[in-house]
C-alpha cells in the first residue's frame, strides 16, 4: 500500500501498471535442451571464458556419450486423443484441445509418427492438428495454402486510434498468384483517404457500416452506404474514398493481383504533394495561396468529420449523372436470403447479379458442426478463401499424387489453385462461416460426387471398384454441402459419416 501511495503522489500510478511483465511461458519449453541446462547462473563482471572450444572435442578425439543412461528424449506415458489410434488412412480430425501438458498432444496417428519431447509451442499444434499429425493420405508436396492474418504486420493509421490494416499477398503466401487480401479497420467516422489502385478491389463488410464514394471515367458519380454483409467493387483506376459511419467498420478487401500491396496505392495527398503547385493552381484555376495548408504527408487512415445522416447532401453530380443499378459500385448482399440445405447454407454473388464486378464471383458458406462443403474443384479460377467464424480443415489434392491437409480458424486465408480438388469440413462445435472468391464471370465448380453419379456406371466400377450400392446412393444433382456427425471420430467405430 505504501508503494501505491508513493507512486500516486509522484503521478506514476498508471505507469506502474504498464511496467514490463515476465515473458509468456509455453508449458514444457523449459529444462535441459540442446546441451544447455537452464536457468544458467546469473553472472555480473568482466567477460570470462573462450567463445570457441578445444580441437580435442572433435569426433574421434572427444569422449562419447553412454549408449544407455545418458540424456533422454523419451516421453513417458504419451497421451493420445480420440481417433489417434484409428487407421491413419481414415484421416479423422484430432481434437488436440483435450490433450494435457506435459504428455500431449503427440504427432502420432494410427501407429505412425512418434512422440515429441520438444522444443515446441503447444498452441500451434492444437490449432494445426492435421499439420502436426497428418492423415496418411497426405503425400508429396503441396504449396503452403494457409496464412493467418494474425501473423501479418499491422499498419496503423495516423492520429489517435484511427484504424489499421494488415494484408496477405505473395510475400507471405507465394502460391496466391492471382489474388491478395487486406483486412482493414476504420474507427467511427475515420477515412481511408482518397485513392485508387492498379488492381480491382472487391470488398465484404465484416462489421459496422461504410460510406463509399467514387466517379468513373465519364464523370458519373456514386455514393452509397453499406453495412455488414454488403459488398462493393471498384475497377482498377477508379478513384474512391471510404468513410466509416458512426459505429466504425471493419472490412475485407480482395484484389485481383497476388502481388498487390497496400503500400503501392495511389493517394490523393501524395499526388498533390508530388506535383508542382503552379500546375495545381492552373489545373484547379485558383491562386497558389490556396495550397498553403495542403498536407505534408500522406493521411492513409485518419479521423474525420462525421458523415451527414442524409446521404443526398453528398450526392454531387455532373452532366454525366449518377451511377446506380447495374453500373453502381455496391451490392447489398446482406439483404439476400441464403439457400438452405441439409448441413448448412450458401449464397452466391457473381456478375449475373453484380455486373460491375465482371471477374469476381463469390460464395458465402455456413457449415453446421460435422458438415462439409463437398469435394470439388474450379475449372477456370484459383480460389481465395477467408474464414469469418469457427474452425475447419481443407485437404488440397494436386496432380498427380500429392495432397496436404490444412487447418483453419477465424481470420485465416486459404488459397487453392485452379483444378485442385478440395473440400471444407467443419471441425468444431459451432457453425463455420467462410467466403470463397473466384476470378470468374460465374461462380461454378465441378462436384466430384455428381461427376461419379453422371458417368456411365461401368466406367466407374471398372476404374474405382465401387459397388452398385454406393453408386445408387449418390445424388445426381449437385448438393454443395454434405451433412455429417459432429462427433468426428465416431466413423471409426460404426463406419458411418
Least Cα distance to 410 among 146, 156, 27 occurs for 146
SS3 426: strand
The SS3 assignment for 111 reads: coil
Please list, residue by residue across 255-287, b when 16 or more beta carbons sit within 10 angstroms of its beta carbon and e when fewer do: bbbbebebeebebbbbeeeeeeeeebeeeeeee
The string of DSSP codes covering 31-80 is: SSBTTB-SSPPP--SS--S-SS--GGGSTTTSPPPPSSSSS----SS---
Residue 124 burial class via C-beta count within 10 angstroms: exposed 0-12, middle 13-18, buried 19 and up = exposed
Q: How far apart are the first and last CA of the chain?
A: 61
Exactly one of 201, 383, 436, 469 is catalytic; which is it?
Answer: 436
User: How many other C-beta atoms can be found within 10 angstroms of the C-beta atom of residue 30?
Assistant: 12
Dihedral sign from CA coordinates of 435, 436, 441, 446: negative
* Residues facing 425 on adjacent strands: 372, 393
- Determine whether 34 is exposed, middle or buried from the number of CB atoms within 10 Å of its CB (0-12, 13-18, 19+): exposed
User: Quick check: is 79 catalytic?
Assistant: no
CA neighbor of 406 nearest in space, from 392, 388, 427, 387: 392
Other CB atoms within a 10 A radius of the CB of residue 167 amount to: 23
Distance of CA 221 to the CA centre of its chain: 33
DSSP annotation string for 308-370: PSSGGGG----TT-B--GGGSSEE-GGGSPPEEETTEEEEEE-TTT-TTSTT-EEEEEEE-TT
**How far apart (Å, rounded) are the C-alpha atoms in residues 432 and 429?**
9
Residue 14 phi, psi dihedral angles, 5° rounding: -65, -35
3-state DSSP assignment of residue 384: strand
Alpha-carbon distances, residue 401 vs 93, 144, 175, 398 (angstroms):
22, 16, 18, 7
Catalytic (active-site) positions: 436
Amino acid at each position: 500500500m505504501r508503494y501505491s501511495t508513493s507512486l500516486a503522489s509522484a503521478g506514476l500510478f498508471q505507469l506502474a501498471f504498464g511496467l514490463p511483465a515476465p515473458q509468456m511461458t509455453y508449458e514444457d519449453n523449459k529444462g535441459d535442451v540442446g546441451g544447455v541446462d537452464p536457468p544458467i547462473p546469473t553472472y555480473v563482471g568482466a567477460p570470462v571464458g573462450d567463445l570457441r572450444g578445444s580441437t580435442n572435442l572433435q569426433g574421434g578425439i572427444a569422449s562419447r556419450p553412454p549408449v544407455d543412461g545418458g540424456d533422454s528424449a523419451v516421453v513417458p506415458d504419451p497421451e493420445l486423443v480420440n481417433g489417434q489410434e484409428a487407421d491413419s488412412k481414415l484421416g479423422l480430425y484430432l481434437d488436440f484441445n483435450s490433450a494435457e501438458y506435459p504428455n500431449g498432444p503427440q504427432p502420432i496417428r494410427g501407429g505412425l509418427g512418434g512422440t515429441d519431447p520438444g522444443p515446441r509451442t503447444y498452441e500451434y499444434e492444437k490449432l494445426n492438428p492435421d499439420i502436426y499429425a497428418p492423415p496418411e493420405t497426405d503425400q508429396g508436396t503441396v504449396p503452403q495454402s494457409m496464412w493467418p492474418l494474425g501473423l501479418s504486420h499491422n499498419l496503423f493509421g495516423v492520429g489517435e486510434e484511427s484504424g489499421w490494416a494488415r494484408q496477405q499477398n505473395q510475400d507471405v503466401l507465394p502460391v496466391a498468384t492471382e489474388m491478395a487480401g487486406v483486412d482493414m479497420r476504420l474507427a467511427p467516422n475515420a477515412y481511408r483517404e482518397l485513392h485508387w489502385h492498379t488492381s480491382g478491389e472487391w470488398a465484404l463488410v465484416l462489421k459496422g457500416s461504410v460510406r463509399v464514394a467514387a466517379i468513373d471515367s465519364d464523370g458519373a458519380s456514386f455514393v452509397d452506404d453499406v453495412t455488414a454483409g454488403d459488398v462493393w467493387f471498384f475497377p482498377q483506376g477508379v478513384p474512391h474514398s471510404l468513410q466509416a459511419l458512426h459505429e466504425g467498420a471493419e472490412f475485407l478487401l480482395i484484389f485481383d493481383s497476388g502481388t498487390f500491396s497496400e503500400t503501392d496505392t495511389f493517394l490523393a495527398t501524395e499526388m498533390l504533394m508530388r506535383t508542382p503547385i503552379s500546375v495545381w493552381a492552373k489545373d484547379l484555376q485558383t491562386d497558389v495561396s490556396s495550397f498553403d495548408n495542403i498536407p505534408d504527408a500522406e493521411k492513409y487512415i485518419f479521423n474525420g468529420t462525421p458523415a451527414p445522416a442524409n446521404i443526398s447532401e453528398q450526392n454531387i453530380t455532373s452532366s454525366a449523372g449518377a451511377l446506380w443499378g447495374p453500373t453502381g459500385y455496391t451490392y447489398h448482399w446482406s439483404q439476400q436470403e441464403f439457400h438452405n440445405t441439409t448441413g448448412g447454407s450458401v449464397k452466391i454473388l457473381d456478375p449475373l447479379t453484380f455486373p460491375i464486378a465482371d471477374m469476381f464471383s463469390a460464395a458465402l458458406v455456413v457449415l453446421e458442426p460435422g458438415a462439409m462443403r463437398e469435394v470439388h474443384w474450379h475449372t477456370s479460377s484459383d480460389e481465395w478463401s477467408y474464414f469469418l467464424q469457427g474452425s475447419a480443415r481443407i485437404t488440397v489434392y494436386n496432380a498427380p499424387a500429392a495432397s496436404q491437409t490444412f487447418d483453419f480458424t477465424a481470420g485465416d486465408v486459404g488459397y487453392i489453385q485452379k483444378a485442385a480438388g478440395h473440400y471444407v469440413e467443419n471441425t468444431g462445435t459451432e457453425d463455420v462461416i467462410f467466403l470463397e472468391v473466384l476470378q470468374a464471370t460465374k461462380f461454378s465448380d465441378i462436384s466430384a460426387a455428381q461427376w461419379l453419379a453422371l458417368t456411365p456406371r461401368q466406367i466407374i466400377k471398372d476404374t474405382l471398384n465401387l459397388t452398385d450400392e454406393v453408386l445408387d446412393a449418390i445424388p445426381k444433382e449437385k448438393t454443395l454441402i454434405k451433412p455429417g456427425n459432429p462427433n468426428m471420430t465416431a466413423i471409426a467405430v460404426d463406419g458411418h459419416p
